[in-house]
Structure 1
Amino acid sequence: MTNTSDTKANEAEGRRSFLPAFINLRDAGTLFGLALILIVFAVLNPVFMTAPNVLNILQQSSINACIALGMTFVIISGGIDLSVGPAAAISAVAGAALMTAGVPLPVALLGAMGTGMLCGLFNGCLIAFAGLQPFIVTLGGLSLYRALALIFTGGNPIFGIPTEFRAFINGDLLGVPVPVVIVGLIALLLWIVLNRTPFGEYILAVGGNQEAARIAGVPVARTRITVYVMSGGLAAVAALILMGRLGAADPTMGNLWELDAIAAAAIGGASLMGGKGSVVGTLLGAVILGSLRNGLTLMNVQAFYQLLATGIIIIVAMLIDRATRGRA
């Protein structure tokens, strides 16, 4: 006689078999939501689905997607990173200072990324070794890194970004904007890490039950530190993309980036309780936010209504997550 739970498991596996290997049922639901938004705005405004505007949406979404991918790994591990915006600002300032000082461009880029990773390392060490709560540590980091960026620059932007760097960031590869290509390659690498490596299993285990993971031999402290270093590094990449587009490094850069990143991860299925998240879902979540803002802008909707729509989407995503966890 067939067990009822086995039957349900087989049915679930059957439903998953219709989906590509890189996407799950939750991601499919997010994709459906994106398709619905695209259809609605395409009907309301014919310009919305034109090729130039679609590329514009992807390019605008690339910065948030980059930040949100790092945030997703932090959230899966059971943490949160509120300092990604200021970490991006101080990374941009460091990179721009090196560029304008005549340092070779590759070294300057490594310096910017290293700065972001150091911010993440500082956060991770306080959380893993001092036992402080991620919310408190990264909230302190939010003020600390912003203050350091403002103090270093005197509150003024740094101009003089090399022309070759700006040309690269504002260029395209086979018609696809370079920032979109960069984020796509990063997402592919992170998908492999999360789904095909032991480290990905460690992150899920730590987020699911930290004590059980420790008993099972998972290097909990090292795992938690690493995800924060990744978050800081990806914040630096996002900062470099924006710096290349603007031609300057502003110490006030990255204001509220952490909220957009959390929103994209949550919309994509990452649970703020930890233990669950998806690279594909986060990318879709970032594109949903970008599409929503772009469509509302084309319709001349005021900015505070865009914030209202974003807030509603986040709350709905959280309710969906709570409902799916309840059924599980």
Structure 2
Amino acid sequence: METKPRQGIAVLGKYNIGTSATLLAIVVVLFVFLSLTSAVFPTPGNLSNLLRQTSINGIIALGMLMVIITAGIDLSVGAVVAIAGIVNALMLQAGVSMWVSIPLTLVIGAAIGVFNGILIHEVSITPFIATLGTLTIVRGLVMIMSGARMVANLPKEFGQIASGDIFGIPSMFIIWMALFLVTVFLLNYTQLGRNFFIIGSSKEVARLSGIRLRINMYTVYGLSSLYAALAGILLSSRLSMGVPTAGISYELDAIAAVVIGGGSLFGAAGSAIGAVLGAIIMQTIRNGGNLLGIDPFALQVIIGALILIAVGIDQFRMRRAEKG
């Protein structure tokens, strides 16, 4: 009963090494090309800005990765980004210390993810519909709580979280890399991570293997929303305000980063380094395209094409694996 998941994980490891090398080569080519074609791209100011924006999308992608590994999807992460920014901003505006408001906001974010897990496991609603419903509910709550207005006048020390740096490296990027290492450890060196891959390979095999589906589904969706809530806090710190419309389409960017990074929508495949490189590629294309004066709608076409190519490769790989 354990043969299938183990084979899937073995193939996954081999596949991710090749995929990561290819993605890294793409990143290098992009950086060299943009450095030669734009005098602004390689400047410290632009690179710092690129790292900060990529960190927000990259954190969400790491959470989405874990969900996709279980053959799920989480469309609510963009809404979680918004509600985290608003909730934290409202508490800060009311005089609550950020050392209290931030942990409380993260707990609220994780609770939204657990709610998704309940809908999916207990009520048997498909992940797409469950998280789409949660997205709609949370977006509505954000507008009610904020009155559809931005929440400004936040403490300066809160804004320094996003604007600060350590030895010239943006603090947001350091936070992202720390979370990357946590995710690598969780997926590769813990039983929980192994459970995610087995569940993505086959829920029935996971159940027969003694894996507790309930706690694992609660955990994976809770982690996805926790990561999104952290991204929302960092985004509001960067903007120095809570924005009710924040995070729109961020869920699509996260899914795209995971898929471009070698993750499979069929589950049981994906890596943290792939999600990181996928996020970097997407944001570099956007950043470089803007500097070169490329129409933003054309950039959307390019990114959409990348997603289709990545999904097509995934489909081809799955069909070949089934035949083999």
Native 8 Å contact 2:74 2:251 kept in 1: yes
Q: Which residue of 1 aligns with 2:98?
A: 105
Alignment partner of 1:188 is 2:181: yes
Deviation at 1:248, TM superposition (A): 0.6
Residues 130-177 of structure 1, C-alpha deviation per residue, up to 9 Å, x if partnerless?
A: 111000001111110000010111111111211111123210011100
Percent of aligned pairs with the same residue? Answer: 37
Q: Which residue of 2 aligns with 1:47?
A: 40
Q: Which residue of 2 aligns with 1:73?
A: 66
Q: Distance in 2 between matches of 1:265 and 1:195?
A: 17
Q: Distance in 1 between matches of 2:94 and 2:46?
A: 37
Secondary structure in structure 2 of the residue aligned to 1:297? helix
Deviation at 1:43, TM superposition (A): 2.9
Q: Distance in 2 between matches of 1:50 and 1:152?
A: 40
Q: Distance in 1 between matches of 2:315 and 2:38?
A: 34
Native 8 Å contact 2:81 2:228 kept in 1: yes
Alignment partner of 1:225 is 2:218: yes
Q: Distance in 2 between matches of 1:91 and 1:48?
A: 31
Report how many aligned residue pairs link the two structures. Answer: 312
> Which of 81, 102, 106 pairs up with 1:88?
81
Deviation at 1:88, TM superposition (A): 1.3
Q: Which amino acid aligns with 1:171?
A: G
Mapping for residues 136-175 of structure 1, pairs under 5 Å? 136-175=129-168
Residues 167-193 of structure 1, C-alpha deviation per residue, up to 9 Å, x if partnerless?
A: 232100111001000000000011000
Q: Distance in 2 between matches of 1:102 and 1:114?
A: 19
Deviates more, 1:224-233 or 1:37-46: 37-46
Q: Which residue of 2 aligns with 1:38?
A: 31
> Which of 194, 209, 214 pairs up with 1:201?
194
Q: Which amino acid aligns with 2:102?
A: L
Native 8 Å contact 1:90 1:115 kept in 2: no
Q: Which amino acid aligns with 1:95?
A: N
- Compute the TM-score of the two structures, normalised by the length of structure 1: 0.91
Secondary structure in structure 2 of the residue aligned to 1:24? helix
Deviation at 1:57, TM superposition (A): 1.6
Secondary structure in structure 1 of the residue aligned to 2:268? coil
Residues 45-103 of structure 1, C-alpha deviation per residue, up to 9 Å, x if partnerless?
A: 24323333222221110110011110000000111000111111111111111111111
Q: Distance in 2 between matches of 1:168 and 1:42?
A: 29
Structure 1: gaps (5+ residues): 1-8
Native 8 Å contact 1:85 1:254 kept in 2: yes
Alignment partner of 1:176 is 2:141: no
> Which of 103, 123, 127 pairs up with 1:134?
127
Deviates more, 1:129-138 or 1:49-58: 49-58
Alignment partner of 1:315 is 2:294: no
Secondary structure in structure 1 of the residue aligned to 2:143? helix
Secondary structure in structure 1 of the residue aligned to 2:82? helix
Q: Which amino acid aligns with 2:42?
A: M
Q: Distance in 2 between matches of 1:275 and 1:55?
A: 34
Q: Which amino acid aligns with 1:43?
A: L
Q: Which residue of 1 aligns with 2:4?
A: none
Q: Which amino acid aligns with 2:131?
A: T
- Compute the TM-score of the two structures, normalised by the length of structure 2: 0.92
